[in-house]
Structure 1
Amino acid sequence: MDSALLSDEKETNEENEQIEQENNLLKQMKKEEEEETNDDNEEKMSNEEQEDYKQNLEKMVKLKRMEYLKNKKNLQQKRKLIEMKKQQVCGNVKQLWNIGQQYHEKLDNKIIRMNQWQQMVNNEIVINTQKMDMLQQLLSKHYDLFSNSFHLYLQSTQNQSHFLEL
């Protein structure tokens, strides 16, 4: 887009230079004409030749003026087109920005849900670890009780057998 602007600016500058050169040429031609008419020592053109020269000069000025107006109109159209494209690009950028924002929000929401899910899993792990510890302690107590009971049972059977022997 910048290159289009630079190209149009360059084209405008070239057109302006061309118009300036043409104006300078016309001024020079007018000056020469005045010098010719004012100079008594040189041959004078006939009235008919002078009239033809003036008409040709006027035609050339009109043509150059029409060309200038045409170039000016084309340049204005190009500027309008550039402005439309600029607005279109700005609209596209805004639309892409909004899409990016929406995607970012969705991604943030997913990250929040993943963090919540991870926290729930961590909580479950902690709870299950605590349950396992409690079960292990309970099992250990039951084992101790069973061991003590068995030991008592063995003692009692030994005592009974002793008692029966007597």
Structure 2
Amino acid sequence: MFEVIRKDLSRLDPEGSASPRTLVAGLLSQGFQAILVYRFFHWLQQKGWSGQPLRFFCERFIEITGGISIPASCRIGEGFRIHHFGGIIFHPTVQIGHNCTLYQGVTIGDRGGTGGAAKIGDNVLIGAGAKIIGAIEIGDNCVVGANAVVTRSMPAGTTALGAPCRLKHPDGRIE
């Protein structure tokens, strides 16, 4: 758990270090606070401990103060970064790869109570206000543009634009 947190922390520093200065900045960041709470209770869950009722109060505190809801059952890879806090909601079945970044107002959910949520690859950037809906797959090195509404899978290296989204492939082709 601590190695993963160190990698999350190193994403806050442009030089990629987890220095004491970066630790202080991280502890003051609502996004990093939410990641810490998630990492701790996810680790407990993996060990077979629910962490209740403490988990309930910690998760609600983060939701109220930072506007971020990340259930402990999500699976999030190392190097995760929440660039700006507020309005971030994850479905409990969300899977996110390594070194992903997201901005404020991101929702990753199911289709209104049916099915699961997205599986997101490595090195994905999710822009402000983006919505990723349904049990779809977002490939590695994708960019989900600000306010895009993604309801279908994205091949690796593509960019999602608009609502409903259009996919821009690396070769410049748009569909």
Pair in the same fold by TM > 0.5: no
Q: Which has the larger radius of gyration?
A: 1
| TM-score interval for Structure 1 and Structure 2 normalised by the shorter chain | under 0.3
What is the TM-score with the length of structure 2 in the denominator? 0.21
Q: Greater helix percent: which structure? A: 1
Q: Which of the pair has the greater relative contact order for Cα pairs under 8 Å at 6+ separation?
A: 1
Q: Greater strand percent: which structure? A: 2
